[in-house]
C-alpha cells in the first residue's frame, strides 16, 4: 500500500508521544471521512502497522517533519483566511450593510434591513419659446410690452430624499433656475402609524390635482388658466399635513399651514405675524385598475392673510397669467387688497382607459374684504384629454396621475420608438365680478410629447389665448387684444 506524506506525518506525530523502544500499532482510515483510527470498524481500511524505534530519524523522516510543520502553518493561514471571509460575508449581508444602486430613479443607497435609505435625484427642464401676435401696450399707458422669445432653464432642481429608522422620511429640494436658489420642498414625514402619514415642513397644500402633480408628470409645459387662482394661495407653505393611506379607492388629507419659508420681516412694526390656512382634499376611485381608472375629488381651503395683509408673502392676492415663464407679457395682472379671508372649493374628475385619459377641474374662490370692501367671487376651470399613440397608459396612485413610461425605449440600434403622446386642453379664468374687472380669458393648448425613456422626454406645446376681456394689455391703438400665440419646446431630464 502506498502511504501518503500526510499519513506519514500523522504516524510520526503519534509516534512522538510514546515511550522509547520498539512499539507497533495498526492504523485504520475511514474511507469516507479520511479520519485516522487505532481500532478497526465499519468503513475503515487498514493502512498498515507502524513502529516507533529508538534509531535516529532518517533524512527522509527529517524532511517529513519539516513538511508537517509547513502543513500546520498552511492550515493556520487558511483557517485565518476562512474566518476573514466569513466576517466579510457577515458584514456584507448583515442588517447594517449598504446596497448602492444607480438606476432610472437616481443614485440610491439602502441598508439590507431597509431601515435607512438615501436618494439623490433631480430634474432639468430646458425651454425654447417663441410668441406671435404679442405687440401690446400696458393698459392705461403707452408702455410697449411683448413676449420674450428665447431660451431658458425653466427648472433646474436637485433632490435629497431618504429614510431614517424605517418610519421617518425626509425631502430637501432646491431649484437653481433663474440663476438663483429657491427652496421648494423641505420636510420630514412620519409613517409609523400605518393608516396615515404626518408631514411637517414646507410642502404643497391639499388643493387641486393639477397643482399637486409634479412638473415631471404634467402633459403640458405649463399649468392651465385655472392655476391663476390656485398658485397664489394654495401652493407651497410651511405646515403640518395628515395624509391617509389609500384604502379601497379612498384617500383623505387635512393640513394646517402658515406662510412660505421666507420669514415675515415687514418694515412697519407689529406687522410680522404670519397668516394661516387650513386645507383638505378627498378622492375616490370607484374603478382603480392598472389601465382603467375613474377618479373623483373634492378640496377646500381657508386662508387668512398675515398682519401685513400679505398672502404667501405677496402683497394682497396677486393673480397673474404670463404667456410663458420667461415672458414679461402678462395678459392677466391684478391684485386684490384689503383681504380679510379667502375661501376656495375645488372639484375634480378624471378617467383613464388604456392609452386614453381625460380630466377636468373647477375652482371657485370667495374673497371676503375688509372695511366694507366689495366681496368677490372668481372662478376657473379646465378640461383635457390625451392619447398615447404607442399604446402605453399613464400611472395612477394615491389620487394622483403620473407620466407615461415607454414599453420600449427609443434606440437606433434596437429599433425602439419610445412613447408618443398627443394631448389637448381648454381652460378658462374669470376674474371679473361686478365693478371689479380683474380680467377674463380662455386658452387652448395642444401638445406632442415624446418619452425617449423613463428619464428623458421632449415636449412641444402650442397655446393660443383668446376671448380676452379687461386684459392687462391693449393693442397699440388702445383696442381689445384679440389673440396671442405661444410655442414652447422643452427637453426634460428627470431622475
| Per-residue pLDDT tens over the stretch 212-230 | 999 999 999 999 999 999 9
pLDDT interval class at 17 (50, 70, 90): very low
Contact 249, 286 (CB under 8 A): yes
pLDDT interval class at 72 (50, 70, 90): confident
pLDDT at position 316: 83
Give the C-alpha separation, 164 to 328, whole Å: 44
Instruction: Write out pLDDT tens, residues 330-362.
Output: 999 999 999 999 999 999 999 999 999 999 999
Question: Nearest-5° angle of CA 368, CA 372, CA 378?
Answer: 35
Q: Which residue has the higher pLDDT, 1 or 326?
A: 326
Give the C-alpha separation, 161 to 169, whole Å: 7
pLDDT(295) > 70: yes
C-alpha cell at 242: 395628515
Q: Which residue has the higher pLDDT, 241 or 33?
A: 241
Quote the percentage of the chain above a pLDDT of 70: 91
| pLDDT mean over 297-312 | 93
C-alpha cell at 39: 481500532
pLDDT at position 57: 53
Contact 485, 453 (CB under 8 A): no
Q: Which residues are CB-neighbours of 343 under 8 A, at least 6 positions away? A: 300, 301, 302, 365, 366, 368
pLDDT at position 345: 98
Select from 15, 124, 128 the least CA-distant residue to 61.
15
pLDDT(159) > 90: yes
pLDDT at position 30: 79
Instruction: Write out pLDDT tens, residues 375-390.
Output: 999 999 999 999 999 9
Contact 474, 137 (CB under 8 A): yes
pTM: 0.80
Q: What is the set of domains in the chain, with CATH numbers? A: 5-93 (no CATH), 123-160+207-494 (2.40.160.10)
pLDDT at position 55: 53
pLDDT(248) > 60: yes
pLDDT interval class at 133 (50, 70, 90): very high
Give the C-alpha separation, 308 to 263, whole Å: 13
Q: Which residue has the higher pLDDT, 280 or 38?
A: 280
Select from 234, 184, 187, 188 the least CA-distant residue to 209.
234
Amino acid at each position: 500500500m502506498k502511504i501518503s506524506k500526510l499519513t506519514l506525518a500523522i504516524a510520526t506525530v503519534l509516534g512522538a508521544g510514546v515511550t522509547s523502544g520498539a512499539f507497533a500499532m495498526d492504523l485504520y482510515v475511514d474511507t469516507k471521512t479520511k479520519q485516522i483510527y487505532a481500532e478497526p470498524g465499519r468503513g475503515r481500511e487498514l493502512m498498515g502497522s507502524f513502529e516507533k524505534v529508538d534509531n535516529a530519524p532518517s533524512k527522509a523522516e527529517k524532511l517529513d517533519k519539516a513538511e508537517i510543520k509547513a502543513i500546520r502553518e498552511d492550515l493556520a493561514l487558511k483557517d485565518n483566511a476562512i474566518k476573514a471571509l466569513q466576517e466579510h460575508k457577515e458584514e456584507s449581508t448583515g442588517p447594517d450593510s449598504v446596497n448602492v444602486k444607480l438606476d432610472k430613479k437616481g443614485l440610491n443607497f439602502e441598508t439590507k434591513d431597509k431601515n435607512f435609505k438615501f436618494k439623490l435625484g433631480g430634474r432639468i427642464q430646458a425651454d425654447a419659446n417663441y410668441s406671435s401676435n404679442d405687440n401690446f401696450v400696458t393698459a392705461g399707458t403707452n408702455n410697449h410690452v411683448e413676449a420674450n422669445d428665447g431660451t431658458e432653464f425653466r427648472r433646474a432642481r436637485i433632490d435629497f430624499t431618504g429614510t431614517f429608522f424605517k418610519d421617518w422620511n425626509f425631502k430637501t429640494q432646491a431649484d437653481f433656475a433663474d440663476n438663483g436658489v429657491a427652496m421648494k420642498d423641505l420636510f420630514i414625514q412620519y409613517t409609523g402609524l400605518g393608516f396615515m402619514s404626518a408631514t411637517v415642513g414646507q410642502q404643497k397644500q391639499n388643493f387641486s390635482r393639477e397643482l399637486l402633480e409634479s412638473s415631471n408628470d404634467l402633459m403640458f409645459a405649463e399649468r392651465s388658466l385655472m392655476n391663476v387662482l390656485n398658485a397664489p394661495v394654495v401652493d407651497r407653505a410651511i405646515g403640518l399635513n395628515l395624509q391617509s393611506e389609500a384604502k379601497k379607492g379612498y384617500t383623505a388629507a387635512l393640513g394646517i399651514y402658515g406662510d412660505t419659508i421666507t420669514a415675515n420681516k415687514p418694515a412697519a412694526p407689529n406687522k410680522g405675524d404670519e397668516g394661516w390656512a387650513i386645507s383638505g382634499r378627498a378622492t375616490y376611485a370607484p374603478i382603480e385598475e392598472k389601465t382603467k381608472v375613474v377618479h373623483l375629488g373634492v378640496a377646500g381651503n381657508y386662508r387668512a392673510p398675515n398682519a401685513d395683509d400679505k398672502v404667501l408673502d405677496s402683497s394682497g392676492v396677486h393673480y397673474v397669467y404670463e404667456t410663458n415663464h420667461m415672458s414679461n407679457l402678462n395678459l392677466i395682472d391684478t391684485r386684490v387688497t384689503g383681504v380679510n379671508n379667502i375661501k376656495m372649493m375645488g372639484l375634480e374628475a378624471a378617467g383613464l382607459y388604456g392609452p386614453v385619459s381625460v380630466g377636468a377641474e373647477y375652482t371657485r374662490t370667495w374673497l371676503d374684504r375688509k372695511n366694507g370692501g366689495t366681496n368677490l367671487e372668481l372662478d376657473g376651470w379646465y378640461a383635457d384629454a390625451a392619447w398615447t399613440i404607442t399604446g402605453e397608459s399613464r400611472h395612477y396612485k394615491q389620487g394622483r396621475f403620473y407620466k407615461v413610461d415607454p414599453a420600449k425605449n427609443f434606440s437606433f440600434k434596437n429599433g425602439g420608438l419610445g412613447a408618443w403622446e398627443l394631448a389637448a386642453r381648454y381652460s378658462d379664468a374669470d376674474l371679473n365680478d361686478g365693478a371689479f374687472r380683474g380680467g377674463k380669458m380662455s386658452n387652448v393648448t395642444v401638445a406632442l410629447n415624446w418619452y425617449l425613456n423613463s428619464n428623458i422626454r421632449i415636449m412641444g406645446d402650442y397655446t393660443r389665448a383668446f376671448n380676452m376681456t379687461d386684459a392687462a394689455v391693449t393693442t397699440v391703438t388702445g383696442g381689445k387684444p384679440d389673440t396671442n400665440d405661444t410655442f414652447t419646446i422643452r427637453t426634460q431630464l428627470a431622475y
